[in-house]
Chains A and B, each alone.
Chain A
Amino acid sequence: MEGNETYWSENLRLIFICLAIWFVVSFGFGLILVEPLNAIRLGGYKLGFWFAQQGSIYTFVGLIFWYTKKMNDLDKKYNVEES
């Protein structure tokens, strides 16, 4: 089951990248760094406020689809797709 182990560690690497972005846009930009970011404007939005109420959600959606695509590629590469 050599192949399966590298499949799993590649999956873990992907999850780590996604969750790092997940954390940065919500907890990072939306909460911890909200004050400095609020000095920047995005139209009528303060940027930190925008990340907390809009931007983080859009990023979450993008993340799931990106992960799904990457995993489909990975399934093919290691030949573990469902029949």
Chain B
Amino acid sequence: MDELKLYTYIAVFGSFAVYFGIAWWARAGSTSDFYVAGGGVTPMQNGMAIGADWMSAASFISMAGMISFLGYGGSVFLMGWTGGYVLLAMLLAPYMRKHGKFTVPEFIYDRYYSKTARVVAVICLIIASLTYIIGQMKGVGVAFSRFLEVDYDLGLYIGMFVVWVYAVLGGMKGITYTQIAQYCVLIFAYTIPAVFISLQLTGNPIPQLGLGSTLADGSGVYLLDKLDMVVTDLGFKEYTTDNMGGTVNMFAYTMSLMIGTAGLPHVIMRFFTVPSVKAARQSAGYALVFIALLYTVAPAVGAMARLNLMNTIEPAAGQNMEYAERPQWFKDWENTGLLQFEDKNGDGKIQYNADKETNEMVKVDRDIMVLANPAIANLPNWVIALVAAGGLAAALSTAAGLLLAISSSISHDLMKGILTPDMTEKNELLAGRVVMTLSIIVAGYLGLNPPGFAAGTVALAFGLAASSIFPALMMGIFAKKMSGKAAVAGMISGIGVTMLYVFQHKGIMFIPGTSFLGDMGPNWFFGISPNAFGSVGALVNFTVAFAVLKVTGPAPAHIQEMVDNFRTPHGGVSAAHDH
């Protein structure tokens, strides 16, 4: 076994051993432990756990790569996936914590006194979470197969087993403390390579500052200016101004991601684990600090990796690298299929440019920018080994949060709430564990046989959260008179419009060939891409809800009293977790 593989095994299985230890220490004894970690998590701990819960395989592996190739356009992910926490902290989390229940659909049921509303919320939650989980499971398989050369399927089984141990044994309690450990692993694994690369390129060890510094090669040229020059010379769009589909599209996209983030149940749920309203507000702040640590480094990673890649292939204009002399990492990633070269002009050299006719780098997968980044920059083996453990931590922590969201909505909302209300606490805890196990099996199955439409479905997850859950929760808190009928009408029309738009451009249920309007710019409504449409869906939701409210009359007095009650931290039924 070579040195790199040995280090990788140590990093990966060492981190797994830590997770198992935590799982044993934080076993769940009650439904309150299982759903909300007993309500005793401190704001700082919760902030870290939210960080790991939120930052998925996509954030860790794919985001910097997307920014790398989108340039300025990639800003929608940076602003969208952080700005949502401002909304959470001010519009949702404190009030939902005050109300003090276990799940998001349960809050919707209490506020809108309607089983239909609860079921609609459960369905949205399950679709959004399942589509999201496919990506995590694929992330686990990819990390294993790429770094440990373990079979993709076997890697996925190992990942399923690890999650099963701590999620089923510990429920939210086990998940919380494992997520704290996973946050530490993933942030360490993400920032260390970035620090090295920033130091190499600019002499500044802080990547956020390095990105705005001059290059260390003595030329005195700013890194971003150099990058702009290199990419435009090869016919790509200018890095710092390339706006993805125009300002209107970027506006709608950012807004969809922000309100989608605020409406994702697996994130909101984490706010139920803290002891007070004050702690809920604080943990949103800490969460964003921990998230910002990665999200402000990501654009530096993206830009620097792009520059390194370009410089490797074409160190100076016209002096392209000989294919026969390509470095080891190039060969390694060619083997995985993520890099593909085709010598179109037969000169034995690599030409990489924006022209489809002459470009010879026929495939450069965006995930490479993070996965191969340390190798491209010639970093030591122990740094490369860290990336594998970090990617796994990111994928497993998010998967666990999603699994808990799914299983609690089934065992608590559907079974205990609607089908068998007289279930004992012991049986509900057992049901929670059984449902969790089944969810892991389903998620594993979907990871092994990803449906063809998997790539398109992340848009659906954010679209659903943005167009249904976020508006329903916000109106429930800020519009005291909002009634159940009006809210359900709003939710259904919000989802309807969003799904219709996504399907008409991407195909019905994402089946190719069934889209009746092609997925291209001129057919888009005001140039808004299907991924960005959640914000329009939310607007429709609000409009329909208020129109129906006007016709059908306000919510009953006791509901309005309940709203008054959860608007203030003190008093009322704040006896949170003892129902």
Contact = CB atoms under 8 A, between A and B. Distances in A.
Interface of A: 1, 4, 7-8, 11, 15, 18-19, 22, 26-27, 30-32, 34-35, 38, 42-46, 49-50, 52-54, 56-58, 60-61, 63-65, 67-68, 71-72, 75, 78-83
Interface of B: 67, 72, 74-75, 78-79, 82-83, 85-86, 89-91, 94, 208-209, 211-214, 222-225, 240-241, 243, 247, 250-251, 254-255, 276-278, 281-282, 284-285, 288-289, 292, 295-296, 299, 564, 567-571, 574
B570 A81 contact: yes
B86 A64 contact: yes
B551 to A, nearest CB: 26
10 contacts: A4-B568, A18-B86, A18-B90, A44-B214, A50-B212, A54-B208, A64-B89, A71-B281, A72-B278, A81-B570
B211 A26 contact: no
Given A60-B83, A61-B288, 13 more contacts: A4-B567, A22-B83, A27-B254, A32-B247, A44-B214, A44-B222, A44-B225, A53-B296, A60-B292, A64-B288, A67-B281, A71-B278, A82-B276
Contacts of A4: 564, 567-568
B213 A81 contact: no
A12 to B, nearest CB: 8
A50 B208 CA distance: 10
Contact of A38 (B86, B241, B282, B571): B241
Contacts of B289: 61
Contacts of A27: 251, 254-255
Nearest to B288: A61
A29 B398 CA distance: 32
A57 B292 contact: yes
Where chain A touches its partner, the secondary structure class is: helix
Nearest to A23: B83
Contacts of A63: 86
A7 B82 contact: no
A12 B89 CA distance: 13
Nearest to A81: B570
Given A1-B564, A31-B250, A32-B247, A68 B222 contact: no
A83 B254 contact: no
Contact of A52 (B79, B276, B288): B79
B224 A44 contact: yes
In the A-B complex, list the 8 residue pairs whose CB atoms are closest, starting with the nearest. Answer: A44-B222, A52-B75, A43-B212, A80-B570, A64-B285, A53-B299, A45-B212, A44-B212
Contacts of A53: 67, 72, 74-75, 78, 296, 299
B316 to A, nearest CB: 21
Nearest to B250: A31
A4 B225 CA distance: 55
B284 A64 contact: yes
Contacts of A67: 89-90, 281
B85 A60 contact: yes
A78 B67 CA distance: 46
Contact of A19 (B86, B277, B296): B86
A26 B212 contact: no
A4 B255 CA distance: 32
B288 A81 contact: no
Contact of B82 (A35, A46, A60): A60
A15 B90 contact: yes
A26 B83 contact: yes
Nearest to B571: A80
B281 A38 contact: no
Contact of B570 (A22, A56, A83): A83
B278 to A, nearest CB: 6
A31 B247 contact: yes
Contacts of A83: 570
Contact of B240 (A31, A38, A72, A81): A38
Contacts of B83: 22, 26, 56, 60
Nearest to B289: A61
A20 B104 CA distance: 27
